[in-house]
Structure formats: structure tokens, C-alpha cells
Structure 1
Amino acid sequence: MGTARYLLLTSFKIDGSPVATPVWAALDNGKLYVSSLPDAGKVKRIRRNPEVTVQQCTIRGKARGEIVRGTAVLLDEAATAKARQLIRHRYGFQGWIATLSSRLRRGDNANIGIEISAS
């Protein structure tokens, strides 16, 4: 799962219906790290229900491969910085531009890190 360029992160609404979002992710010590805007829907859903699934996907979010169940944890500021660094390292110049541009537009707390462990 950690070698796929894009992952489909699925979080769940209050009524249990799934909402899938293609994301960049970096693998470190058996856990996946994702970065998101703090007011994004997936972050709000994870706050209510940390159960998620991940699956390989295309850049447009077309699912491929097996579905893996996991538990997501929203990270504090220091751990978010680590997640951001992992994504920059994994995606090179594109990752650096993506994380920097959101920080320039929204400030230092522009993103929140999400750590995903397999259930």
C-alpha cells in the first residue's frame, strides 16, 4: 500500500455512508501519513469516527487493488510537521510545492497530519 503513488482514503459520514478521497501518502514504520486542510470533510469525519479504509487508486480516484481497513489519528503540530516532511520526501518537488503553497496561503497551521494504522 505504501508504494502506490495515490491512495483512496475513505472516511464515513454519521449515517455510515462512505466518502472516498484520493490522497498522497507516505509510509513510515508501518503507518501511512497524509496531510489535509483542517476544515476538510475527511478531517471532520475522522474526528467523529476514526475508522477508515485505504485502497490504491489512480490520480482521478478510480479504485484499484484490495481494500485495507485502518484507524486514523489526527496529529498535533509537531507530528503534522513530520507528516509534511515525509510527503515532501516521497513526492519530491511536487510534494514540496504542494505543502509550501498551502502554508503560504493559509499560514503555518494550514495543514493537519493524519496517521493511519492498519486495523
Structure 2
Amino acid sequence: MISLEKIKSEKYIVLETYRKNGEPVKTPVWFVINDDFVYVVTRSNTGKIKRLQNNPKVKFALCTIKGKVTGEWISGTVKILDGNQTKSTIEMRDKKYGFMAKIAKFLSKSKGELCAFSIKID
């Protein structure tokens, strides 16, 4: 099994979620790692949140900013977080990504409220 500690300092993972018909959708995302979980911040009205509400199974791998896979695929299960957990995840994300996180927050405002989810490796 891959050590999450080894990928902690990387910038991007590509997240593979699944449509109702089973078709995979790959999205490059920022992430943070804490206590053997991968955490991702997004917005409540994004496609990935809708897909995760239907199917919490995911795969992810290290990638470039454009989503080109550079690491091995890892399977996991997602849990959408509550308000307090989301707040602490946003704080971790902001600490890791700094000013770019502030810009992303502003640019994504139209896609709903900030929310977060954890990925537990299967």
C-alpha cells in the first residue's frame, strides 16, 4: 500500500468519480492529508459532489495540474464532511495552498457553498 506521507507534499491528485451509469469522470483537485485520510475541498453544486452522493467509491492518483497521471491509482471510499469538519479541512487546504486557495475560493463562488470530503483508502 502506498504511504500517504510520501504524497503529502504533492500539489494535485486526479480524482475518479462515477456517473450513475458507471462511466468514470476524472477531475484534478488539490488535497491535504491528515490522520491517514485524504481531504478535498470543493463546492456543493459541483458534479463531483453529485456523483459522490450517488456512489462514494473513488480512485485517485498523483497528477499534473492538467490531470496527467504521474502515480499509481489508489481506491478509496468518500465521506462528505459536516460543517465543523469542513471548516478545519478548509483551514488545512488554505495553509497548504496559500494565496492560490484564496483566489480559488473567490473564482468558484457561483458553484455553491464550500464543502469537503474525506477519502479513506480501501
1:84 aligns with 2:81: no
Runs (5+) with no aligned partner, structure 2: 1-6
In the TM superposition, residue 102 of structure 1 has moved relative to its aligned partner by 5.5
Structure 1: 5+ residue runs without aligned partners?
Answer: none
**One of 16, 20, 30 as aligned partner of 1:14:** 20
Inter-partner Cα distance in structure 1 for 2:118 and 2:20? 21
TM-score of the superposed pair, with normalisation by structure 2: 0.86
Per-residue CA deviations over 1:24-78 (Å, capped at 9, x if unaligned) read 0001111111111111111011001100011011101111110000011111111
Alignment match, 2:4 = none
Distance of 1:102 and 1:35 partners within structure 2: 14
Query: 1:15: Cα distance to partner?
Result: 1.4
Higher strand share: 1
Instruction: Give the corresponding residue for 2:38.
Output: 32
Structure 2: distance between partners of 1:68 and 1:2: 14
How do 1:1-119 and structure 2 match up within 5 A?
Answer: 1-99=7-105, 101=106, 105=109, 110-119=113-122
Between the two proteins, the alignment pairs up a number of residues equal to 115
Partner Cα separation in structure 1 for residue 107 and residue 35 of structure 2: 26
Question: Can you list the C-alpha shifts for 1:72-112, whole angstroms capped at 9, x where unaligned?
Answer: 1111111111110110011122123323x268x45xx7211
Give me the whole-angstrom Cα distance separating, in 2, the residues matched to 1:66 and 1:88: 26
Q: Give the partner amino acid of 1:117.
A: K
Percent of aligned pairs sharing the same letter: 31
TM-score (norm 1): 0.88
